[in-house]
Structure 1
Amino acid sequence: MAYNANACSNCGFANPNTPSDSYVALPDHLLQSNELPTDEEIAQIENAISDRKARVLLLDKTIVALQSSLEQHRRMRQAAADQISRGVAILSVVRRIPTDVLAEIFNWTVPDEARKHATNRCPWVLGRVCSRWRALSLALPELWTTIDRKLPLAMVKAHLDRSIPYPLTVELGFSDTGSVELLIACSSRWEVADVEMRAFMGPALGAVQGRIPVLRRLRYNDNNGFRSFGAFENAPALRDVALSGKASPLLPWGQLERLNLKLSNSAGLSQLWQAHNLVELSVTGRPHEPLSVANLMELPRLRTLLIKDGLFLESLSLPALEDLYVSMDVSSLPSFLQRSNCQLKKFTTDVQCVSASIIAVLEHTSSLVELRITAIQDVHLLLSRLTIPASEMTAYARPLVPALSALAISNVGDALACTQLVAMAESRRSSPVCAEPSLCVLDFIKWTGLNLHALETLAVLRERGFTIEWLTGPHSMDRYRSWRPSYP
């Protein structure tokens, strides 16, 4: 049985709607020449043309029908795909999160500092997802406790109403005095306050005096110079304060535990002697007027000091100090350490200095555990001084900083410094009175890779079992920045 080209691919029978391929043929010799057709050939050609016109009409109808069917099947497929998506959404994990777990997730979204526009931030954006999320966000007062200065008045009112009775984190510094007045009326709920002092706020803010029982953290910036501003003098829970600009408010100094001063004058430093319970102090500003060193201030509980100008150390005695950062002038450090007689455990500096200045500091810090120096010029001399000679490797030796267990340094690139680094590490491992230091070398200059000396030194130290990182370019900058989120 001969194969039928028009047979259906499913059943094998002929399809009556499909045009046949057998039709009147055109004379081949006329297609390949320019001869004049005979009368008989003309009739044959006219019949062929008529036959093909009929075929074209039939094929056009078939194409239209197939296109209509194809479009219908496409719509059916899209509808089925949409149903699949809706079904998958119904079964999604997010939809099935228990309410208590969803509430905990919501709490982690606030405050959302990534977005600048208040209406596109949490918690406002949570209510746009679905009715369940909206109802839950409105039922969680803790989501609405952060009120920043970008919120318009209507949203401030909403935050205050929805956050009852939770403590508030507030920012004051609005151009709209109505917002300031609303927040001041709720000052009994302030837990954290960030105040950008404006001229119109002085009289209004004075009303909070004696009405801030739960305020524990205060950020206060004043570029106008409101001297002896007493609104925060009576704050029984206040422990953490940051002052900047020309700020010199009256504070309960004796109860403060953390203090950050970024001041343009030294007036705010004159009250430090009263802050005898401070545990952490950061002096990050550079006052335009000279610091007074007439009176020595002793802070007996201070353990962490982050300071920009080391000259200020001439005014301090800190017997409990453990962590010290200095970014300018280390010349006052030896006398300060000798006077304080503290057990310093961590010392960080990015002062452009020479080894002699650092060695003078280390001679007064036998308890030092971690040393980080990012801008030393002649690092091989420091490494040489930290190396324990073979003659001193006894239980009775008193080498420099014997407890040192973490060392971060820079400018170790030449052959001399690399050789000295290996010798220092080996000597401290072999000494019975020294800890074995982990090493971090920062190369801020090299951005493409280590030089030959560095590569060989790194391989030697790792082969001998030392813990070492050798960071270049952006990696060294990232490590440097990771040390100083709270440093000046």
Structure 2
Amino acid sequence: MPLTFAFPDLPRPPTQLAPLVASNDAPDKTESALTRAHIQQLESQLALLEEPLTLLRRRQADLLASVETHRRILCPIRRCPPEILSHIFSFAVESTFHFNDISEVAAPMSDLAPWVLPRVCRRWADIALATTSLWTLVFLDLDRLGEEGAVRMVDLLHQRSRNMPLTVKIYCEQDEVRSHRVLDSALAHVERWQNVDLYLKLPLFLRLATVRDRFSSLTTLTMSLDVLDLEDLEDDLDLRVDPDFWNTFAIAPKLTALCASFWNNDNLLPSPFTLPWAQLTRLSTTFTTDTEVLRVLEKLSNIVDCRLEFSSRDFDTAPNSSLTITLPHLRSLLLQIETISPSSAPPDRSTGSGRPKRLPSLLDNLSTPSLQSLTTYHTADAATILALIARSGCMHTLQKLRLHTPSLHANSVLDILQKVPHLSVLNVGDLNGVLLPGWTTSTMPLIPEFIHGFTREWRSVSVQGGRERKLKAQIVDSTYNVDVSEQLAELEKDGLFIELSSRTYFRPLITDSFQ
């Protein structure tokens, strides 16, 4: 029904008020009475307009709502091809699955992608259910999942993903849990597990023994395990560990990447599992001693990316000097000691030449002809690295070098700069203040002599080869307390980017992964 309104004419003010409107004069009694009467007449007409205005505002709101409703018909996402929409859905699912802190994913799972997608509309449901890859990411937080509903959801994941390989992440912090129906439901499809991330306590981890030798599709394995004292485990929980359990991953014909950390109380441990080391191309894991590291390195004939962390050792104990392990495919190597205490720091080994005597290192037993990136945290000194480069012949392939050691000499750093012509990243950590000893603005020049020598050496080697070179260098000195960033910025025109710092970045290897 149309809305019609009759609006009365605007009341005209009395002629006596016109001079007062145009002036600042005070009205007399008659003029005041006329003014009040005119205002009352205006307000009465305003009251008459209130009802039609309310109706008009309501009609305006209805029209705006209808405009928005019909504007959705023209929304570009309606014209989006199914394959593009499917690709967008995949980002939503991956953002749910890949996260930094496992506690950030809040229950219930049914409110997260991909479960929420089919509930939007029929078209989205058809596309989501037809895109099997959306259902191949299986995240199971057993601390939060109730067994009844979650088993049904896991079964639906397996059904909707059809026979595609699965990426599985399973998490449980509870020590007393020995079995879980959700885990058993997932293990029923273990042949489809391709990328796996496991964080389980040992009693529940033992369930994997039931699927030993069935990891036929496994390519990437990430796991963290607190290897409890087995005697205490058996006494406290009345739980027996079958020795064959440690062979759970022994047969995994496609496994090429392993990221694993093992510990007991405060100590890092080597893998208690039998693993197909010779297959691995990427490895990140823990050990107790450097001797254990060497035993595994001998088996890594196909390794390309290797990151190893082991507990503190006696720096005076040298590895077997007669053993040389050649790793022909190794491109990236990181060696790190977990903790450094004053008692474990290397003794002063300065020689008469002013250079430190070489420290024993497991690098002395390696040959890495294809090495492109080397990072050492308290596991080698500059002389050891130079010897590795000369022995391996990798001076033309090495591009990134990060050296952190308390036994460092300025000339050794300059030797590295001279003998490794293709360096693009150099990170030198001198934790004992050897490079810039006692450097303060009152006792030393603004730019320390070592930096001047470093710059001169860079300029001399950068012109070799006839091509433009760039080097990003970070030099850490515990005595550094002067900001010379503006002066160092002037070197950038030569392709040299130097950063001086008093704090080194210690990378916790056991949080690393290949995901």
TM-score between the two structures when normalised by the length of structure 1 = 0.70
Q: How does 1:173-252 map to 2 (within 5 A)?
A: 173-174=171-172, 177-224=180-227, 229-245=246-262, 246=269, 247-252=271-276
**Cα distance in structure 2, aligned partners of 1:444 and 1:274:** 35
Per the alignment, residue 154 of structure 2 pairs with 156
**Cα distance in structure 1, aligned partners of 2:205 and 2:449:** 62
1:89 aligns with 2:72: yes
Segments of 5+ residues of structure 2 without an aligned counterpart are 1-6, 21-25, 229-240, 263-268, 338-359, 438-444
Q: Which of these residues, 409, 414, 419, is aligned with residue 447 of structure 2?
A: 414
Per the alignment, residue 375 of structure 1 pairs with 429
Residues 229 and 249 of structure 1 are in contact (CA less than 8 Å); yes or no, is this contact kept in structure 2?
A: yes
1:278 aligned counterpart, secondary structure: coil
Residues 428 and 437 of structure 1 are in contact (CA less than 8 Å); yes or no, is this contact kept in structure 2?
A: no
2:404 aligned counterpart, secondary structure: coil
**Cα distance in structure 2, aligned partners of 1:468 and 1:336:** 25
1:284 aligned counterpart, secondary structure: strand
Residues 114 and 128 of structure 2 are in contact (CA less than 8 Å); yes or no, is this contact kept in structure 1?
A: yes
Cα pair distance change 1:304/1:53, threshold 3 Å? closer
- Given residue 62 of structure 1, which amino acid in structure 2 is its aligned partner? Q
Q: How does 1:461-480 map to 2 (within 5 A)?
A: 462=493, 466-469=494-497
**Cα distance in structure 1, aligned partners of 2:446 and 2:473:** 10
Shift of 1:234: 0.9
Per the alignment, residue 386 of structure 1 pairs with none
Q: Which of these residues, 272, 275, 280, is aligned with residue 256 of structure 1?
A: 280
Per the alignment, residue 13 of structure 2 pairs with 21
**Cα distance in structure 2, aligned partners of 1:206 and 1:319:** 40
Shift of 1:215: 0.7
Q: Which of these residues, 418, 438, 443, is aligned with residue 470 of structure 2?
A: 438
Q: Which of these residues, 367, 382, 385, is aligned with residue 333 of structure 1?
A: 385
Per the alignment, residue 170 of structure 1 pairs with 168
Shift of 1:240: 0.7
1:229 aligned counterpart, secondary structure: helix
- Given residue 375 of structure 1, which amino acid in structure 2 is its aligned partner? G
**Cα distance in structure 2, aligned partners of 1:299 and 1:460:** 37
Per the alignment, residue 231 of structure 2 pairs with none
Per the alignment, residue 349 of structure 1 pairs with 402
Residues 213 and 237 of structure 1 are in contact (CA less than 8 Å); yes or no, is this contact kept in structure 2?
A: yes
Per the alignment, residue 296 of structure 2 pairs with 271
**Cα distance in structure 2, aligned partners of 1:267 and 1:146:** 38
Residues 263-293 of structure 1: CA deviation (Å, up to 9, x unaligned): 4566863333222121221113436799993
**Cα distance in structure 2, aligned partners of 1:276 and 1:297:** 9
- Given residue 322 of structure 1, which amino acid in structure 2 is its aligned partner? Q
Shift of 1:54: 7.3
Residues 142-173 of structure 1: CA deviation (Å, up to 9, x unaligned): 11111123273243333222212111111234
CA RMSD of aligned residues (A): 4.3
Shift of 1:477: 9.9
1:323 aligns with 2:373: yes
Cα pair distance change 1:17/1:468, threshold 3 Å? same
Q: Which of these residues, 285, 304, 328, is aligned with residue 300 of structure 1?
A: 328
Shift of 1:185: 0.8
Residues 6-34 of structure 1: CA deviation (Å, up to 9, x unaligned): xxxxxxxxx85644533999xx9xx999x
1:249 aligned counterpart, secondary structure: coil
Segments of 5+ residues of structure 1 without an aligned counterpart are 1-14, 34-40, 382-411
Structure 1 window deviating more from structure 2 (235-244 vs 125-134): it is 125-134
**Cα distance in structure 1, aligned partners of 2:372 and 2:491:** 33
Cα pair distance change 1:106/1:257, threshold 3 Å? same
- Given residue 179 of structure 1, which amino acid in structure 2 is its aligned partner? V
Residues 428 and 436 of structure 1 are in contact (CA less than 8 Å); yes or no, is this contact kept in structure 2?
A: no
Cα pair distance change 1:203/1:421, threshold 3 Å? closer
Per the alignment, residue 105 of structure 2 pairs with 116
Cα pair distance change 1:438/1:23, threshold 3 Å? closer
**Cα distance in structure 2, aligned partners of 1:187 and 1:56:** 86
Cα pair distance change 1:98/1:306, threshold 3 Å? same
Residues 425 and 471 of structure 2 are in contact (CA less than 8 Å); yes or no, is this contact kept in structure 1?
A: no
Cα pair distance change 1:224/1:164, threshold 3 Å? same
**Cα distance in structure 1, aligned partners of 2:118 and 2:402:** 48
Cα pair distance change 1:430/1:265, threshold 3 Å? closer
Residues 425 and 437 of structure 1 are in contact (CA less than 8 Å); yes or no, is this contact kept in structure 2?
A: no
Per the alignment, residue 265 of structure 2 pairs with none
Residues 213 and 235 of structure 1 are in contact (CA less than 8 Å); yes or no, is this contact kept in structure 2?
A: yes
- Given residue 194 of structure 2, which amino acid in structure 1 is its aligned partner? E
Cα pair distance change 1:307/1:443, threshold 3 Å? closer
**Cα distance in structure 2, aligned partners of 1:23 and 1:361:** 101
Per the alignment, residue 23 of structure 2 pairs with none
Shift of 1:233: 0.9
Tell which has more relative contact order, 1 or 2 (C-alpha 8 A, sep 6+): 2
**Cα distance in structure 2, aligned partners of 1:196 and 1:85:** 48
Residues 419-454 of structure 1: CA deviation (Å, up to 9, x unaligned): 5566445434555x5654314355889xxxx96x75
TM-score between the two structures when normalised by the length of structure 2 = 0.66
**Cα distance in structure 1, aligned partners of 2:393 and 2:462:** 28
**Cα distance in structure 1, aligned partners of 2:222 and 2:92:** 22
Residues 202 and 226 of structure 2 are in contact (CA less than 8 Å); yes or no, is this contact kept in structure 1?
A: no
Query: In terms of Rg, which structure is larger?
Result: 1
- Given residue 304 of structure 2, which amino acid in structure 1 is its aligned partner? V
Per the alignment, residue 11 of structure 1 pairs with none
Shift of 1:78: 2.1
Cα pair distance change 1:212/1:434, threshold 3 Å? same
**Cα distance in structure 2, aligned partners of 1:98 and 1:136:** 10
**Cα distance in structure 2, aligned partners of 1:140 and 1:438:** 46
Per the alignment, residue 387 of structure 1 pairs with none
Cα pair distance change 1:210/1:289, threshold 3 Å? farther
Per the alignment, residue 3 of structure 1 pairs with none
**Cα distance in structure 2, aligned partners of 1:262 and 1:280:** 15
- Given residue 222 of structure 2, which amino acid in structure 1 is its aligned partner? R
